[in-house]
Amino acid sequence: MDSVKITSDNLICGLFEDRSYKGCMLQEYIRDRVDSWKDAIAIKSMETGVTYTYSDVLENSRAFASALIKQGFQKGDVIAVVLPNIPEYSSIVFGIWEAGLTASLMNPLYTSEEINYQLDLCRIKSVIVNADSFKTVQCIDGVEKIIMFASALQSVQSFQLGRDQERTIAVLPFFHSYGFQGGIAHSMLKGVHVMTLTKFQPEIFVNAVRQHRPTFFALVPTVVSFLVSDTVTSQDLESTHTVIVGGGPTSPVTVDSFNKKFRASLLSVYGLTELSPLSHRCVKEKAGSVGLPAPMTYSKVVDPETGNSLKKYMYGEICVKGPQVMKGYFDNEGATNAVIDREGWFHTGDWGYFDEENYLFIVDRIKDIIKVKGFQVSPTEIENMLKEHAKVADVAVIGIPDFSAGELPRAFVVPQDGVTIMPEELIDFISGRLANFKHLKGGIEFVDSLPRNPTGKILRKELFKNHINKQFK
């Protein structure tokens, strides 16, 4: 049975699967589905052993909602959640929603200044913290701090561990939309046993994998790269049937290494925070693709100059329309209108194309495309080629200003441990495989590490800023 339908104007739509959710809050939809597994483990901390069943999570969310209402919070108030991946996270967020409030999820590694900026931007009334994050927010005035201890929520210590229950280790941060969707929302809808780690530590993660034998993962490319390293054996993932990867492109080298090492399927997904966060997902393995549109989701590739829909294999901007598209950026109509057009299409800012099976391929971020003498150069293409070199551990490519060419590609390379690379080695490695305008005429710089955000995306702006600052020293 086909998963999509095609319209005459080159629009691709994921077919409907389940309309029963319409009008439901997420936690209501979950509550309606968990009766058959209410006594099974929902979530457990790998560090503390604190465990909650599905009944615990839902009862605690109701209790927390009631407590917030009694505290005087009113519908529409915004509460910040500044917590690591702890087992209480789901009850806290669901409780905020059940009380008719808005949850703003924040990175607990933020500095006081960064948190204060978001507090002002979102007009936050209160902040939920634990003992660690309280140290960061205690000096911030004007908001109430709610300190959350594990003992504040009820945990029933008699639970059933179903033999066939799916298991996953929540590696991605819950404050990120992909981490929350994969680690909490999707898992609860499927009755999954979620195991939490407050942060990714390779040794602890590998030990947890070997002890608890997860059946699936939702990961980002950097963690998939770790899985194919010598630290993890093929036997470690014998119980794993599926690894979902999103949050950025996975290099062909990594995909090939994964498929040779493990029996698990590696399936890519695509989305953005503005898409709640999913718009495309693979229903089968297809190298380099992020899959088909999700149910009830329309997708098209357009010429950014004319706005016209493009045919298969033609490169353009990816646009998405569906129920998951955000209403807009909070209190910023100008920014909203810049990305959502009058017909409701969200313009992703990503460059890509569809193949003959309607599978989507991401080429790069439009803003990351390097323009050399009018030619468009994808940094990801150069990065993937450099990653094939045995001496390269990691790499990022950016465009740097050039008077005659406009921009030139420059590579920042992390060598493998204990090896020395000469720039000429890498230049020779790619020069015969890429057009002349894609060559690294902006130079090669060797670095110890690359700046990345919490989900592993390369912070190209940081590399660019550092490069420019060096030029003016």
C-alpha–C-alpha distance, residues 310 and 79, integer Å: 43
User: In this structure, are residues 383 and 395 in contact, taking their beta carbons and an 8 Å threshold?
Assistant: yes
Q: E strands within 148-276?
A: 167-170, 193-196, 216-219, 242-245, 265-270
DSSP 234: G
Please name which of 235, 171, 248, 177 lies closest in space to residue 202, comparing C-alpha atoms: 171
**Per-run averaged pLDDT (10 residues), the chain, 473 residues:** 70 73 75 86 94 94 95 94 95 95 93 87 92 82 63 47 78 94 92 94 94 96 94 97 92 94 97 95 91 95 94 96 95 95 97 96 92 90 96 97 92 96 96 93 97 90 93 75
Helix, strand, coil proportions of the chain in percent (round to 5)? 30, 25, 40
pLDDT of residue 20: 60
pLDDT of residue 16: 66
Report phi then psi at 13, rounded to 5. -125, 130
Give first-to-last CA distance, the chain, whole Å: 62
Which residues share a beta bridge with 289?
A: 361
pLDDT of residue 24: 75
List of domains in the chain: 4-17+200-365 (3.40.50.12780), 26-152 (3.40.50.980), 369-471 (3.30.300.30)
201-209, long-range: CB < 8 A, 24+ apart: 202/226, 202/231, 204/46, 205/169, 205/171, 206/231, 206/232, 206/236, 208/46, 208/169, 209/169, 209/236, 209/237
Q: For the packed helices 89-98 and 26-33, what is the interaxial angle rounded to 10 degrees?
A: 120
Handedness of CA 2, 9, 320, 360 (dihedral sign): positive
**Summary count for the chain: helices (H), strands (E):** 14, 24
pLDDT of residue 276: 94
| Run of H or E residues at 437 | none
Please report, for residues 63, 236, 371, 372, 382, the alpha-carbon distance to residue 432 in angstroms, rounded to integers and kept in the order given. 65, 39, 20, 18, 12
209-213, long-range: CB < 8 A, 24+ apart: 209/169, 209/236, 209/237, 210/236, 212/167, 212/169, 213/167, 213/238, 213/239, 213/240
pLDDT of residue 22: 65
Handedness of CA 47, 51, 52, 53 (dihedral sign): positive
SS (H, E, C) 11-69: CEEECCCCCCCCCCCHHHHHHHHCHHHCCEEEEEECCCCCEEEHHHHHHHHHHHHHHHH
Residue 393: Cβ-neighbour burial (10 angstroms; 0-12, 13-18, 19+):
middle
Please name which of 87, 197, 108 lies closest in space to residue 454, comparing C-alpha atoms: 108
